[in-house]
Chains A and B, each alone.
Chain A
Amino acid sequence: MGRIDRHLVAMSETDQIAYLSETVYQERLRFERDGDDATVKERERIDGLARALTEGPEAMRTATARLVRAYSHEVHNRFSERTFGAAMRLAPAAIKGLLSPSEAGGWAWPKWDGPERVVIQGPVGQLQALAKTHTLVFAPTHLSNLDSPLIGYALHLAGLPPCTYGAGLNLFSSPIMGFLMSRLGAYTVDRRKRHRLYKDVLKAYSTELIGRGAHSLFYPGGTRSRSGALEAQVKRGLLGTAVAAWQEGLLEGRDEPEILIVPVTLSCSLVLEAETLIEDALAAAGKSRYIISDDEFSEPKTVLRYVRQLLEMDASVVVRFGSPLDVLGNPVDETGQSVDGSGRPFDRRLYVCDRELGVRSDPQRDRVYTNHLADAICSAYRRDSVVLPTHLAALAGWTLLGSRYPTLDTYGRALLPPSDRWVDRGDLVSAIARGAEAVDAHVRAGETQALLPTGENRAETILTQAVETFSAFHSRRALEFEDWRVLVDPKLTLYYGNRLSSLLGPEELV
């Protein structure tokens, strides 16, 4: 409550009333939407706050404190120091156990050799060392609800400590994920609560966790990428808690308040929810459908089939840890010291302190600092994203469809009738060859990473690998051979090709 209280005290009474009125309004809207899901106590607390708005500052403060306590309890509910401590010890065993045949309830699992399937890249040694002296905040790209356990496992493979993270309340409804997440340091985020007070409680909770030295994770994109594209912009809310926690540490004179941000790029050959996500991206209502509760993730059998197929493929998932950044997005050296663009180390405390090293609070300044961090994370995503055969082949297929039907816009192309969804196989191979050369050039320029086959008949190999991968899971095939032509599923190729949308233009393929 301390942080929220300070936040409220800093407001004028008019702003306080507006802030709390929004809470009442949004919560009552939610009660109407969710019906019986809202408990009597929840309704009472909001009614109490509504009454307090007319009774003066003291009543507002009391009612707010009651609400904040309830939200804090709910957020904290599934996370405890004890749970987190257990996660530190049990994470690897929990994941392996969950993925073993006996736990899978009779499913025939392939022989487990995870490390070859999940490729870990990046400055792992440096991160291992820094994790002992600094609090790390991992900031991954987000494609699938399976990203959190994947990162949990990647952290284990990389020899990095587990971390806490906020997980949507809906994710706990899946028994598998509920089990995993509650044991991997997940705390609860109810995305149905859209008012500022709840978001401020979440930020305060995250600030507290980071400040206490808990390695943390949040998805700066906020939600899974609907289009399949790499996050070009990220949300500032939770990222800002890193700056806040660092500053609080300095203010309180803590010994080790130093916090570093680690961008993490997940590149997957297949994405469990691809079919639903791209439908959502294309739908007019997509933007407002923030929480999807009826996608592939809600079907345990589909999840298991997906994981199984993924584990049968080599290098199907690449988790690339980026170079660590300070809380303003500057690079750091081996010891965690910030360095400028010329590689010279500097004292980052001066960002928030005066020359005598007294901390000077300025929330507006910190918001702009967080913008710098957000920009640095997006740059790291572009640099560290790994091009895989499915991405390139899908983009080539989607682009060639565009060449065949130049008058159609994205939606027209996505809705092509099945009889028109094909491209010449030779043309597709040529487009992939050109695309692969362009990707190579971007890799040489340090603008991206790639894990593409090399050698003779490279483009044909890329296409064959992609077609085999696509045939492994989705109910529809993104690309499928048929004699001299290749059948193209427009929506799925759009989804997987979008991964490269910020890297390759159509002119680099066709």
Chain B
Amino acid sequence: MNVGIIGGGAWGCALATLVAGAGHLARIGTRGARPKGFASTPNLDALARESDLLIMAVPSDSAAEAVDAVRPDAGSMVLFAGRGMNTRDGGWMSDYLMAQTPCRRVGALAGPALASEVVAGRPTALLVASPYDEVCRATQAALHSEHCRLYTSTDLRGVELAGAMVRALAVAVGIADGLDYGIGARGVIITRGIAEATRLGTAIGGDPKTFSGLAGIGDLVSCATSPQHPSHVAGVALARGGSISSRLIAEMRALVALGESEGVDLPLTHAALAIAAGEDRPRLVFDGLMRRAARPE
């Protein structure tokens, strides 16, 4: 199988490693610096036509640009491997792809696998979600190996949302860690964060089980407890008076707006956004969360 990977960053290289480990040919498409030790090409258009599976391993704020550059056709199978929403319009990357190109066979890759651990050959697992069995089968064939278990799901929308929520909640955990609230607070944010992600996911037609799986709690535990994960690092920085990228803020705003339009309360995401946008001080925001009325779980 020929697998094209758009994006020569750490995650793109990690996925190329997995593809090679599964016995397939991986080529990285990038117009930036060519990663060493991997087959790569700057010709994204040709790569798209020559690949049986195309994996977009770029951050969410570059994903729309990558779609515009690659222009998958009706014969392409495309997988988004970066968490998050389309920062151009606050929508979903799969929707953007289908609105802009003829490509219909689309999926999302998610889960707790960290790039550094994948490259080191440590055991991990990922989830591919697509309404097309064909996309799930191709992804399993391309990535499943003795180091990485590949699970499948049909809940594309749920997995896309889970990816975006995980980033926002990892920021929230990072803030709590930065404030030295301890391990217990981390557990509370992870658990209640998954509860609000599940509420929102269900409201938009996702499967609640998605959020208790690899793309939900699995990914959140991995991101929120990794001292190197960018979202967690950003949260810690916020707690200590720093700032975070406008991309993360835009994504949190999109999630809060989605919650409002669906009538779903997202207290933790809202809190993380208030702090990130500089609307309130971290301790005051968390105090406000703790003073919310008591209620059953």
Q: Which of B75, B102, B134 contacts A362 (CB 8 A)?
A: B134
The 8 A CB mask of B3-38 against A (1 = contact, 0 = none) is 000000000000000000000000000000000000
What is the minimal beta-carbon distance from B67 to any residue of chain A, in angstroms? 11
The 8 A CB mask of B94-128 against A (1 = contact, 0 = none) is 00001111101100000000000000000000000
Q: Which of A330, A341, A364 contacts B134 (CB 8 A)?
A: A364
Indicate whether B151 reaches chain A with its CB closer than 8 angstroms. no
Q: Is the CB of B131 within 8 A of A348?
A: no
A342: B residues at CB distance < 8 A: 100-101
Q: Which of A341, A349, A368 contacts B99 (CB 8 A)?
A: A341
Q: Is the CB of B133 within 8 A of A348?
A: no
Q: A340-B101, A342-B100 are in contact. Are A351 and B134 (CB under 8 A)?
A: no
Indicate whether A316 reaches chain B with its CB closer than 8 angstroms. no
Indicate whether A179 reaches chain B with its CB closer than 8 angstroms. no
Q: How far is the CA of A364 from the CA of B49 in the complex (A)?
A: 23
Q: Is the CB of A351 within 8 A of B100?
A: no
What is the minimal beta-carbon distance from A187 to any residue of chain B, in angstroms? 31
Q: A351-B75, A353-B75, A355-B49 are in contact. Are A368 and B102 (CB under 8 A)?
A: no
Q: How far is the CA of A350 from the CA of B52 in the complex (A)?
A: 12
Q: A340-B100, A341-B101 are in contact. Are A346 and B74 (CB under 8 A)?
A: yes
Q: How far is the CA of A90 from the CA of B134 in the complex (A)?
A: 47
Q: Is the CB of B75 within 8 A of A354?
A: yes
Q: How far is the CA of A390 from the CA of B74 in the complex (A)?
A: 44
B102: A residues at CB distance < 8 A: 330, 338, 340, 346, 348, 350-351
Chain B interface, number of residues (Cβ within 8 angstroms): 15
Q: How far is the CA of A341 from the CA of B96 in the complex (A)?
A: 10
Chain A interface, number of residues (Cβ within 8 angstroms): 22
The 8 A CB mask of A313-357 against B (1 = contact, 0 = none) is 000000000000000101000000010111000111111011100
Q: How far is the CA of A414 from the CA of B144 in the complex (A)?
A: 58
A364: B residues at CB distance < 8 A: 132-134
Q: How far is the CA of A416 from the CA of B74 in the complex (A)?
A: 55
Q: Is the CB of A365 within 8 A of B75?
A: no
Q: Is the CB of A368 within 8 A of B132?
A: yes
What total of A-B pairs shows CB separation below 8 Å?
Answer: 48
Q: Is the CB of A347 within 8 A of B73?
A: yes
Q: Is the CB of B132 within 8 A of A347?
A: no
The 8 A CB mask of B77-109 against A (1 = contact, 0 = none) is 000000000000000000000111110110000
Chain A residue nearest to B100 (CB atoms) is: A341
The 8 A CB mask of A126-152 against B (1 = contact, 0 = none) is 000000000000000000000000000
Q: How far is the CA of A341 from the CA of B71 in the complex (A)?
A: 12
Q: How far is the CA of A348 from the CA of B75 in the complex (A)?
A: 8
A362: B residues at CB distance < 8 A: 133-134
Q: Is the CB of A368 within 8 A of B74?
A: no
Indicate whether A369 reaches chain B with its CB closer than 8 angstroms. yes
Q: A341-B100, A346-B102 are in contact. Are A351 and B132 (CB under 8 A)?
A: no
**Measuring CB to CB, which residues of chain B are less than 8 angstroms from any residue of chain A?**
49, 73-75, 98-102, 104-105, 131-134
List 17 A-B residue pairs with CB atoms under 8 Å apart, sorted by A's residue number: A338-B102, A340-B100, A340-B102, A342-B100, A346-B73, A347-B73, A350-B74, A350-B75, A350-B102, A351-B74, A351-B104, A354-B75, A355-B49, A362-B134, A364-B132, A364-B134, A365-B105
A346-B102, A372-B104 given. 7 additional CB < 8 A pairs?
A341-B98, A346-B73, A346-B74, A349-B74, A350-B74, A355-B75, A365-B105
